[in-house]
Amino acid sequence: MADGQLATRTVSHVILDLDGTLLNTDGIINEALKVFLVQYGKKWDSKKAHRIVGMAPLEAVSLVVKDYELPCTIEEFISAITPLFLNQWCNIKALPGATRLIKHMTSHEVPMALASNSPKSNIKEKISFHQGWKESFSVIIGDDEVAMGKPSPEIFVEAAKRMNADPSNCLVIEDSLPGVMAGKAAGMAVIAVPSIPKQGGLYSSADEVINSLLDLHPEKWGLPPFDDSNLSAENFSAILSEHDSGVYFGWAGLSTRGIYKMAMSIGWNPYFDNTKKTIEPWLLHDFDENFYGEELRLAMVGYIRPEANFPSLESLIARIHDRRIAEKALDLPIYVGYKESPFLRTPCN
C-alpha cells in the first residue's frame, strides 16, 4: 500500500499483540536470560534474540534449551526462570505510542482485542501496571485458550469471533513475524512494527511496515485520525499553508522539556479527501513518556524533499533517511543557531 493513501479496505476492529508491540518486554527477557544462563556457564547471545520473538513461551524455552545445550528439562527451565520474569513485570515500560494508541481507540469507541502468545493470566498481570489498559479491551485472549499459538491464525480468528467481528474487518498490529503470518492467515489486515532493528525486510507479507506506533496513521484504515499528530495548516499562518508539500527540518520547543531536533511533513491528508493540508512534526528524540497537553513550538529552517508516495517498506526507509539528513543538517553552523531562538523558549500567555 502506498504511504499517504487510503487503504483498499477499511476496518472496524483492532487486534493488538502485547509483548514487543505495546510493552518493551524484550529487554526484560534478555536480562533474565543473561542471569539464568550464567548458572550453566553460558553467555546469552543477543544476536539470537530475534529467533524467539513472537514464539509461545514453551516453544521459546525449547529453542533456548536446545541452542545452549542446557543440562535441564524444559519444565525445570520454566520453573527456574519464571520468578525472574515475575519480579520484573512491574518494571516493563510501555513502548512509544502504545498508551496514546489505546487511549485514542478507546475515546473513539473502536473495539479492541488483545491477543498474545502468553497465558491469559500473565497478560492480565502485565497490563495491570498500566492504568486504563485492561478496561480498554473488550477481549483479552492468551495462547492457553487456543489449540495452537501464532503463527497459527487461531488466536486472531477467536478474538474476532468474541468481538462479533468479521476477520476481514479487523486490523492486526504485530511486532513479530509469527504474529504477522497469523494475522494474514486469518484474513485480516496487518501492520508490522518490527521489534528487532533492521529486520523490516522480513515483513513483506504485512500490509504496512512502520518503525513505531508513533508512525501509525489510523485514517489509512478508515479509523479516526490521531487528534495530536496531524496539525491543520489552516490553524497556523497563511504563509505556512502555502508552503510546498514535502519534508522539512528544524527545531521543536516543548514548554517543560527543552529544544529538540525535528523533521516535519506538510502534505495533503487523504482522510480529508486531500482537500486539507496537515502538518506532522516528528521530534528526533526518544522520550520515556508521553507529553500530551504540552505547548509545542516549531521552527522550520530547511527543506529535505517533496511529498511522495512509497510502498510501505520504502516509506520506512525514506523516513529513516529523512531523519539522518535532518540530524546532520541541524549540526551545521547555519542551522544550529536557530536552537537558541527566543521563540522556541517563550511560552504563550
Q: How far is CA 47 from the centre of its chain?
A: 22
Any catalytic annotation for residue 26? no
- Strands (E) located in the chain: 13-16, 112-116, 139-142, 170-174, 189-192, 208-209, 231-232, 246-254, 258-268, 277-283, 296-306
C-alpha cell at 132: 486504563
Catalytic residue among 19, 158, 208, 219: 19
**How far apart are the C-alpha atoms of 106 and 135, rounded to whole Å?**
9
Catalytic residue among 144, 166, 280, 307: 280
Q: Helix 177-185 to helix 154-162 angle, to the nearest 10 degrees?
A: 60
Any catalytic annotation for residue 286? no
Number of Cβ within a 10 Å radius of residue 125: 14
**How far apart are the C-alpha atoms of 230 and 343, rounded to whole Å?**
21
Any catalytic annotation for residue 280? yes
Q: What is the 3-state secondary structure of 171-182? A: EEEECCHHHHHH
C-alpha cell at 138: 473488550
10 class by beta-carbon count within 10 Å (0-12 exposed, 13-18 middle, 19+ buried): middle
**How far apart are the C-alpha atoms of 175 and 209, rounded to whole Å?**
10
Contact 247, 263 (CB under 8 A): yes
Catalytic residue among 3, 17, 207, 219: 17
Residues annotated as catalytic (active site), given as ranges: 17, 19, 280
